[in-house]
Chains A and B, each alone.
Chain A
Amino acid sequence: GAGVSQSPSNKVTEKGKDVELRCDPISGHTALYWYRQSLGQGLEFLIYFQGNSAPDKSGLPSDRFSAERTGGSVSTLTIQRTQQEDSAVYLCASSLDRALGQPQHFGDGTRLSIL
């Protein structure tokens, strides 16, 4: 399909391990977002990429979190030394550009469980 693809769909790991989550945005979309959604909570903004501009990292909760976007397409979100409070659904979204109001197209997320 032509939608946003995220992998893995589920990830269970032990506390202290590193995890890497992947997002394939819609082809041609220059804007890419990562969010975290915990049970009963709204979408918590993590990081935003727009074209070749420096990413907006203002939402990353700690220096254990990092993300990159290679070639303006695929993005990976890395969480180092995972903690139990990192358990959540991590959602990726892309949009055509940064014009105000551009709809975001979401993937179905990676459900991360830290044991």
Chain B
Amino acid sequence: SQKIEQNSEALNIQEGKTATLTCNYTNYSPAYLQWYRQDPGRGPVFLLLIRENEKEKRKERLKVTFDTTLKQSLFHITASQPADSATYLCALGGDDKIIFGKGTRLHILP
């Protein structure tokens, strides 16, 4: 069955450094991948979309890569700030289906 894996352990990063989150998947060939941010008690908020024929996407301090051979996406936040602390979810989609990972909690330490 289709499976998405995100690092279940919280990630602690020093302020100013680059945070890198990983999303791995198996038994699936998604047409696109999305990243969302979720704060406690709130719904997820869309951040970035990358399609299967794209290798990299950037938006301000955010960068996403998509390697369909490794079946992996990396999500980078450069010059991280305490306000970047949240849970980050990856989501894979194709046809009419979208599947969300469980998310990785990121803590940016001041």
Residues of A within 8 A of B (CB): 4, 35, 40-43, 45, 48, 50, 56, 91, 93, 98, 100-101, 103-109
Selected A-B contacts with CB under 8 Å, 16 pairs: A4-B43, A41-B102, A42-B89, A42-B100, A43-B100, A56-B96, A98-B96, A100-B32, A100-B93, A100-B94, A101-B34, A101-B51, A103-B49, A104-B98, A108-B41, A108-B43
Given contacts A42-B101, A104-B44, 17 further A-B contacts (CB under 8 A): A4-B43, A42-B89, A42-B100, A42-B103, A43-B89, A43-B100, A45-B97, A45-B98, A91-B43, A93-B43, A100-B32, A101-B31, A103-B34, A103-B49, A104-B46, A106-B44, A107-B43
Residues of B within 8 A of A (CB): 4, 31-32, 34, 41-46, 49, 51, 89, 93-94, 96-103
Q: From B95, which residue of chain A is reached at the shortest CB distance? A: A100
**Cα distance A105–B94 in the bound complex, in angstroms:** 18
Chain A positions within 8 Å of B31 at CB level: 100-101
Interface of B is mostly: strand
Q: From A109, which residue of chain B is reached at the shortest CB distance? A: B43
Determine if A108 and B42 form an interchain contact, defined as CB atoms under 8 angstroms apart.
yes
